[in-house]
Structure 1
Amino acid sequence: MSDKELAKKILELVGGTENVVSVRHCATRLRIVVADKEKIQVKEIENLEKVKGSFFNSGQYQIILGTGLVNRIYDEVVKVTGTGDEEKSGEKEKVVYGNKFQRAIRMFSDVFVPIIPVLVATGLFMGLRGLLTQEAVLAVFGLTADSIPQNLLTFTQVLTDTAFAFLPALVCWSTFRNFGGSPVIGIVLGLMLVNSSLPSAYAVGSGEAQPLIFFGFLKVTGYQGSVLPAFVTGIVASKFEKWLRKKVPDAIDLIVTPFLTLLVGCVLALFVLGPILHTVESGVLFAVEHLLFLPMGIGGFLYGCFGQLLGIFGIHHILNFLEISMLAQDGWNYLNPIGTCGNVAQAGAVLAVAIKAASNKTKQVAYPACLSALLGITEPAVFGVNLKFMKPFVMSMIGGGVGGFLASIFHLRATGMSITGIPGTLLYLNEQLPLYILVNVVAFGVAFGLTWMFGFNKKMEQ
């Protein structure tokens, strides 16, 4: 079945184009908001070739397709529906969009998912630079750290530092895009937050520079590495721009609207929203890192175990904000190694189910799901097998907790985000690599062993 045929079949089985309110996608899932969920033929969709499963979450019907394929199917669906990221207006939106909490989670997802690919690439650049500058690796070629040309090091810094140096611009762009503002205004507004005329947040934090003082008490710096100020500023400024579009006469709209949007947005960001939200952001990060660094690996166990529930409840995209903030502030991601153990544990549990299952249908779903989970895509394992039988999911939580405990004890930390399992090794191309492999093997083995002994039997298939 071609991509075009699959897209048309999906649209047909969700009730036709007239039932589609909006279509979006993340790294692995096509996410459709429909007017009437009763028209969706779930079983027929899950039986389609290349579809790995589906579920409802946060007011959306999410179809698991996998990386790469989901982008192509999304493009084909948009060609037919013409919806894309813009929702159709009307009363039916109120029916399907869920409560305020669900909408807030979707909002986080829609803003941060589009910028994740460049942050993944940046993390890989960091990992490769760390590998190639290690003394042991250089020694193989008869080189030392002093042998690396300064220009080459500068080039690698361009690859690794750019995305995080201008992170507010990426966040503002995506926020404007999702809230109906002009993305180009969002980019410029975000760049204003990291303008070289402002003292760098990094330099101020290290004591190398002093903040600008306004009104005798208000300290102003750049917002390099900050996410929340750019995010909230983007929401406020984009809504202000939309309001101006309705009020400003067409003859002067081109001049007045961008001028006022940037002026008001910059003033609010630097003097009001920025100082407050940067403090809030720092407090949230402090609390999360304090939890992860609880003594004796307790934090790692808790997150490795219960963090897997975030995906089921559809609130896992909140982690994107935390991971981006961690990487932007000190270049390390402390959530990734522990979360990876949870993903690999899902693979261990689903493999045990695949081997013990009597049903060929269960085996056909479980074996590919194991491979997908090892590659970092856990939805087929979670929603297609483990959560369906429940006990395997519980055993995977225990396996993830044990792996997370060890990851915390070993103080593992990643150079990037959003890739786990086997591809995730690229984020640990340093002295951590053997330990990364060890904790994941343990997580896989514990989940597999517990599921084999206690978590699954053939009667459960009935």
Structure 2
Amino acid sequence: MSENKYERIGKEIVNVIGENNIESYVHCATRLRFSVIDRSKIDDEAIEKIEEVKGVFYNAGQYQVILGTGTVNKVYAALRGNQPDHDDAITKEETGSSHKENGLRRAVRTLADIFIPIIPIIAATGLFLGLKGVVFSDAVLGLMGLTMEDVPGYLPSLISVLTDTAFAFLPALICWSAFRNFGGMPVLGFVVGLMLVSPVLPNAYAVADVNSGVDPIMALGFIPVVGYQGSVLTALVVGFLGAKLEKRLRAVMPNALDLIFTPFLVLLTMMITGLLVLGPLLHFVEAGLITVVTELIDTPLGLGGLFIGFLYPLAVMTGMHHLFIAIETTLLANTGFNPLITLCAMYGFANAGVCFGITLKAKKKTVKVTGLSASLTQLLGVSEPALFGVVMRYSMKPLYVMIACSAAGGAVLSLLNIKANSYGLAVVLSPLMYIYEWNQLVAYLVVSVLTLAAAFIITYFFAVPKAVMVEDEEQTMLKTS
């Protein structure tokens, strides 16, 4: 059987890096990440000339080849060939390279591994919420000569199934993902998470509403027991501890008893620990985190937005941006809104503007080709090709412009109190997170376009690196021949 396109790409990448130079490799949403013995032996330009490669960079002890969403999965699968492609194999490979990461980086990467599978669900739920707000708004119903009283009673109920389910059972999704990530049995983690939001328990949102008349159950006379709807931190810790307990039990449990007694002990232990110990304690920690982030965002004069808009590009450069996902999930689950992603989103528009500015003015043909692809990829939400392949590659000036525009856009949005109702939708798709209210949508669109335009204009006239203004040797030879 002849090799397909992705097998060829994989082989070409391995050949340039050197098969004997590779300790291990894994992949994330957009990149192949190689742990290599000698980084200096790799020819970056040769890698970048390979079909579908959008850029390369070296970070956290790993040589990372940017391929983009979808493509990276196919190339990775082609590289693995007939080798098993399951969680255990990935975990072993990641372990081989993770010793080069410090504790904080490893913790952030672990958080990302837990939350990334959940992002599409929350993003879809946010879109459903936005559409619900549009369809049932007085303005839209008025155009059709209707009011809410004319809408069949079953329709809002069915739509609420779409909009409420993910957040109602969010702890179950997080525990499932945590068990999967830490080597436990995912379905056991899912049940542990469901126990945290059991309908037998008083609903957390109802208890928080002083007008609901719902009170917590008092265990032992002093421990308030409620459901933990929306409690991201409790689900994370319970999922981590439950998976570790399961692995320890399976190591010592006789085979004849393992099938029944390991799940029995995990469920019993985590029910007691989660509902009576960790839940009540972590509730206060989570409430404090929400207060701190909210107070920062609401800092007068837009200073909070300025700071977050400045910080987020730096977080992306160091791989720390995944930490924001956990905070955004907590905000969404507890408040229904996500102002944090609004401020962070200006990075994508600023990065695209700077990349477009360099691309359009550059004389170097390879930069024009790479830059156009990277700019379009950034508009679709994948920032690494533009950031590492164009903006940071030749000079620091474009980087300064990008960070400044990101910070300025964040400051303006903070002043206008703009906030999303979801996450996971980037750049050109991000306005969908604001369709729940026209004022929010219009303000977000205006600031986003101005951020992109400012980044483009400033870069084009003042920050294009000199290195890209020199024509390639091939171009020069063609002109002289």
TM-score range, shorter chain: over 0.9
Secondary structure, counterpart of 1:335 in structure 2: helix
Mapped contact 1:22–1:84 kept (Cα < 8 A): no
| Greater mean deviation of Cα atoms: 90-99 or 165-174 | 90-99
Q: In structure 2, what is the Cα distance between the partners aligned to 1:318 and 1:123?
A: 20
Which position in structure 1 is the counterpart of 2:475?
none
Question: Aligned pair in 2 of structure 1 residues 338, 29: CA closer, same or farther (>3 Å)?
Answer: same
Q: In structure 1, what is the Cα distance between the partners aligned to 2:31 and 2:271?
A: 36
Shift of 1:67: 2.5
Question: Which whole-Å deviations, capped at 9, do the CAs of 1:227-284 have from their partners, x for residues lacking one?
Answer: 1111111111111111111111111111111111111112111122222222212211
Mapped contact 1:35–1:92 kept (Cα < 8 A): no
Which position in structure 1 is the counterpart of 2:476?
none
Q: TM-score, normalised by structure 1?
A: 0.93
Mapped contact 2:115–2:325 kept (Cα < 8 A): yes
Secondary structure, counterpart of 1:66 in structure 2: coil
Q: In structure 1, what is the Cα distance between the partners aligned to 2:152 and 2:310?
A: 45
Q: In structure 2, what is the Cα distance between the partners aligned to 1:24 and 1:341?
A: 26
In angstroms, what is the RMSD of aligned CA positions? 2.4
Question: Which whole-Å deviations, capped at 9, do the CAs of 1:43-76 have from their partners, x for residues lacking one?
Answer: 4333221121232334444332223333333443
Which position in structure 2 is the counterpart of 1:433?
441
Pairing 1:95-174 to 2, within 5 Å after superposition: 96-174=99-177
Q: In structure 2, what is the Cα distance between the partners aligned to 1:59 and 1:317?
A: 18
Q: In structure 1, what is the Cα distance between the partners aligned to 2:391 and 2:359?
A: 11
Secondary structure, counterpart of 1:139 in structure 2: helix
Mapped contact 1:173–1:187 kept (Cα < 8 A): yes
Q: TM-score, normalised by structure 2?
A: 0.89
Pairing 1:195-214 to 2, within 5 Å after superposition: 195-207=198-210, 208=212, 209-214=214-219
| Greater mean deviation of Cα atoms: 123-132 or 290-299 | 123-132
Which position in structure 1 is the counterpart of 2:345?
340
Mapped contact 1:344–1:444 kept (Cα < 8 A): yes
Which position in structure 2 is the counterpart of 1:187?
190
Secondary structure, counterpart of 2:183 in structure 1: coil
Q: In structure 1, what is the Cα distance between the partners aligned to 2:462 and 2:234?
A: 48
- Aligned residue pairs, count: 461
Which position in structure 2 is the counterpart of 1:306?
311
Which position in structure 1 is the counterpart of 2:478?
none
Mapped contact 2:22–2:37 kept (Cα < 8 A): yes
Q: Does 1:321 align with 2:326?
A: yes
Pairing 1:229-308 to 2, within 5 Å after superposition: 229-308=234-313
Shift of 1:364: 1.1
Mapped contact 1:21–1:32 kept (Cα < 8 A): yes
Mapped contact 2:98–2:106 kept (Cα < 8 A): no
Unaligned runs of 5+ in 2: 471-481
Question: Aligned pair in 2 of structure 1 residues 61, 122: CA closer, same or farther (>3 Å)?
Answer: farther
Q: Does 1:361 align with 2:380?
A: no
Shift of 1:95: 7.0
- Percent identity over the alignment? 41
Shift of 1:313: 0.8
Which position in structure 1 is the counterpart of 2:96?
93
Question: Aligned pair in 2 of structure 1 residues 366, 415: CA closer, same or farther (>3 Å)?
Answer: same
Q: Does 1:451 align with 2:454?
A: no
Question: Aligned pair in 2 of structure 1 residues 120, 63: CA closer, same or farther (>3 Å)?
Answer: farther
Question: Which whole-Å deviations, capped at 9, do the CAs of 1:101-159 have from their partners, x for residues lacking one?
Answer: 22111111111111111111111111221222222222333333332222111111111
Unaligned runs of 5+ in 1: none
| Greater mean deviation of Cα atoms: 220-229 or 273-282 | 273-282
- The one-letter code of the counterpart of 2:252 is K
Shift of 1:357: 1.2
Shift of 1:304: 1.3
- The one-letter code of the counterpart of 2:453 is G
Shift of 1:81: 4.2
Q: Does 1:56 align with 2:61?
A: no
Mapped contact 2:202–2:215 kept (Cα < 8 A): yes
Which position in structure 1 is the counterpart of 2:49?
47
Which position in structure 2 is the counterpart of 1:21?
24
Question: Aligned pair in 2 of structure 1 residues 438, 245: CA closer, same or farther (>3 Å)?
Answer: same
